[in-house]
Amino acid sequence: MRALLDVPNEELQSWLKARGQPPMRVRQLRRWLLLGRAESFEQMTDLPRELRQLLMEEYLPLGIQIARHLVAGDETHKLLLRLQDGQLVECVLIQEAGRHTACISTQVGCGMGCLFCASGLNGVARNLTAGEILEQLIRLRNLLPVDGRLTHIVVMGMGEPLANLDNLLQALEVAGSKDGLGIGARHITISTVGLPAKIRRLAELGKQYQLAVSLHAPNDVVRMHIVPTTEKTGLQAILAAADYFFERTGRQVTYEYVLLRSINDSVAHAKELAGLLTGRQAHVNLIPFNDVEGLPYARPTDHDLQAFVNELRRGGISVKVRKRKGSEIDAACGQLRRSSLKEEAQALAVGTGRL
Ligand code: SAH
């Protein structure tokens, strides 16, 4: 059965019309899901009983099941979601300083294959639909107290957002609208491995979305070892597209840089990075590597991290180190899904007597 969030307005309207219902029902239904926090048709008490029955026979109000819900001591919530076809994705609610930030996924898995990232270890299975992207926001918002609302969105969960741009934009449109979730574009950050043509398209939308680019290295040689897409798309093409984004939107670009011990974390790397970004309206977000079981990487020592930061600052670059949130619940992208898949595989093996 299809979830209502994935049914286009026109289609829903004609379905309702065929059942003698006025067009305003579309808005009414959307309001229940987006603002009224309804998770079933029964809860939509101002709809005629017979209509609720018909809806129940045809559609699901929401289409995703919560497979696991973990809460960390710092109030970070993580949901492992089971989609209708059984696939698993993750999303996270991060709460600090009055902000309620949703971190959402755009694909099942990821096709970019960054070597340090848990999401891409098994490639990409499929794009999420606009409804599935939107439902992550609704599910996370429904965790907040009744008067609470999401203030920010970071598209930094599983998947490469710009590889699923149409569906993402459709979902963000609803998230941003006043009769949707009301989250302003300036509070929405889209993070990409660096797909220049799509960055340019984003620049031309006339929206105020924030762009974050995953640089991870100060030159193509180092980047090639950890971000395989570098072979096709070198840093210069990515930076040129990001510059264009800044020219068109006036929005400062954030460059993300995962710090991996002895791979890209030396003072020389920092110096080269500062050189690359000098003259650009850029901000650097350093992310010390989050452990992924089975991967041969480590975070830098505190000393090396500080030296890296100091060197960037000396070069006049604005820099922040990303704080670790919800580490005890595998909050980094793709990790919970991975451990869950592993548990399932083990359970299956037990069931079939293979362990
Ligand atoms: N595909 C998008 C979104 C990825 S998730 C992109 O490439 O930007 C957001 C950020 O987390 C990216 O910069 C990604 O490289 C980084 N990341 C992935 N795995 C990580 C890990 N194990 N530790 C720290 N950062 C990681």
Residue 317, pLDDT above cutoff 90: yes
Q: Whose CA is nearest to atom 10 of ligand 1?
A: 156
Cα of 121 vs centre of ligand 1, distance in Å, is 13
Concerning whether 90 is annotated as a catalytic residue, the answer is yes
**pLDDT of residue 252 exceeding 60:** yes
The CATH class, in words, for 2-60 is mainly alpha
Query: pTM surpassing 0.85?
Result: yes
Determine if ligand 1 sits within 6 Å of the CB of residue 226.
no
The tens digit of pLDDT for each residue in 119-175 reads 999 999 999 999 999 999 999 999 999 999 999 999 999 999 999 999 999 999 999
> Which of these is catalytic: 58, 75, 90, 103?
90
- Cβ-contact 145, 193 below 8 angstroms: no
Q: Indicate the class that CATH gives domain 65-346.
A: alpha beta
260 within ligand 1 shell (Cβ under 6 A)? no
Residue 351's pLDDT is what? Answer: 46
Q: 333 an active-site residue?
A: yes
Beta bridge pairs of residue 54: none
Whether residue 66 has pLDDT greater than 50: yes
State percent of the chain over pLDDT 70.
Answer: 95
* Ligand 1 centroid to residue 83 C-alpha, Å: 23
Each residue's pLDDT tens digit, 185-206: 999 999 999 999 999 999 999 9
Distance 117 CA to ligand 1 centre (A): 6
Pocket lining: 132 vs ligand 1, CB cutoff 6 Å: no
In this prediction, residue 348 carries a pLDDT of 56
Element (H, E) at 188: strand 188-192
The closest-lying atom of ligand 1 relative to the alpha carbon of residue 335 is: 22
Confidence of residue 354 (pLDDT cuts 50, 70, 90): very low
| Per-position DSSP letters for 61-101, written without gaps between them | SS--EEEEEEE-TTS-EEEEEE-TTS-EEEEEEEEETTEEE
**Residue ranges of the chain assigned to CATH 1.10.150.530:** 2-60
Neighbours of 27 (CB within 10 A): 11
Residue 193 CB–ligand 1 contact under 6 Å: yes
Average pLDDT over residues 250-263: 98
Please list the residue range(s) of the chain that carry CATH number 3.20.20.70: 65-346
